[in-house]
Amino acid sequence: MLTVAETFPRVWATVRPLPPRAVTLATAAGRVLREPVVADRPFPPFDRVTMDGLALAYAAVAAGQTVFRVERTQLAGQQPKPLRDPAAAIEIMTGAALPPGTDTVVRYEDLDLVRHPDGQCTATLRVPPPVAGHNVHPRGSDCPAGTVLLRPGTLLGAPEIAIAATVGATTLGVSARPRVAVVSTGDELVPVGRAPKPHQVRRSNALLLAVAAREAGAVARVFHLPDHPATLHARLPPLLAGFDAVLLSGGVSQGKADFLPGALRAAGVEELAHQVSQRPGKPLWFGRYPGGAVVFGLPGNPVSTFVTYHRYVAPWLRGVQQPAALALPAAPAYATLAAPVSFAPALTYFLLVRLEAGPDGRLLAHPVFPNSSGDMTSLPAADGFLELPADRNAFAAGSTWPLWRFAA
């Protein structure tokens, strides 16, 4: 039987970056960037005013001047016009380009503005600016033109999409989405919309895996195959050839109706791992179809399915969406046990936990104990699981362990 430390490298060794695709900016959210996004001009592209107030020449302030005639008003978006009189000022708004001949902005709160009946306006400084350039965001101070703003491998969210829009990128090169076939097996399973008989259950695991895979960036389709060897032998090969990954739920243990391992071998899938010293998830099966999909045979119990998905499948799905140079396995976070835990078997223990930020800044992990690995109702109470090593059976409160979150 393999250990977790032996199994995961076998999974990771099959990661191959998927090809890039061009998508519109409006559809790029949630995708992984495959090309650099570069500043097409300095940022900010002009000397940007950061406060509503008065733009003036600091030299006049340095010479002792405190009262200024206001030549005109300039709004954000208007083309700046030079200050005609160096002893005057321009009323200006946040976001406007600093007019030529001025170098400093005094905010409204630091001056008295008087509008005269003849239409003229004067301003008296109550708090003079301390230095030239006050309340001005200088051109190019964020970054010069040519700066790489987003690097390949970046997961595109709202801020990244905004940055791409700022540089005028109407399309982006992103990783293709992994194509995933989610296959449930078992004659005891019925469609979700059908009332099950007392000895039957609905096909919830397949939906669980399909949604999780989509959250990780995949395009997932769901299939159901009965526990009939002839049907498995006929219907598995097209899935193996037509998808990047096949996720099987159930049928990989050692029961009399667990025909999948034999059917996979008969189809030409190379078995790379079967039976892992872990709980939950001991029956895990993993293999590779030459020129086609990798195959994850996940246990049929819901908790086992979800835990092994996050420990093995989710990292693989994220890995194939990364450029080759960045295709490194994601390191787990760490959390601190909030209560002592005992576990006697010499197996790696995936302990469900609820997370809480402690007052001292530590991430506390409160154990969640399902009634069994089939207790799906326990999953919403858990935020992830700790990976506890097999070489000990007592885990003290306050000890820190690797954490795998239930998140894409």
Output the six-digit token pair for 34: 């495959």
Give pLDDT tens digits for 364-386.
Answer: 999 999 876 667 788 899 999 99
Report the alpha-carbon distance of residue 188 to residue 194 in Å, rounded: 12
> For residue 257, is pLDDT > 60?
no
pTM of the model: 0.87
Report whether CATH 2.170.190.11 matches the domain 48-137: yes
- CATH 3.40.980.10, domain 4-19+177-326, yes or no: yes
The CA distances from residue 283 to 15, 24, 278, in Å, are 22, 42, 9
Q: Which amino acid is at 223?
A: F
pLDDT tens-place string over residues 299-340? 988 999 999 999 999 999 999 999 987 777 878 899 999 999
Domain 20-43+142-175: homologous superfamily in CATH = Molybdopterin biosynthesis moea protein, domain 2 (3.90.105.10)
**Of 186 and 239, the one with more pLDDT:** 239
Which burial class, exposed, middle or buried, applies to 223 when counting CB atoms under 10 A from its CB (0-12, 13-18, 19+)?
middle
Percent of the chain predicted with pLDDT > 70: 93
Look-up: residue for tokens 């003849």?
A: 118
Q: Which CATH class is domain 333-405?
A: mainly beta
Mean model confidence pLDDT for the chain? 92
Quote the pLDDT of residue 193: 67
pLDDT digits 0-9 by tens, 26-36: 999 999 999 99
User: Who's near 223: CB < 8 A, 6+ residues apart?
Assistant: 181, 182, 183, 184, 206, 235, 239
Exposure string over 245-277, b if 16+ CB within 10 A, otherwise e: bbbbbbbbbeeebbbbbebbeebbbeebbbebb
**CATH 2.40.340.10 location in the chain:** 333-405
User: Where do the CATH 3.90.105.10 domains begin and end in the chain?
Assistant: 20-43+142-175
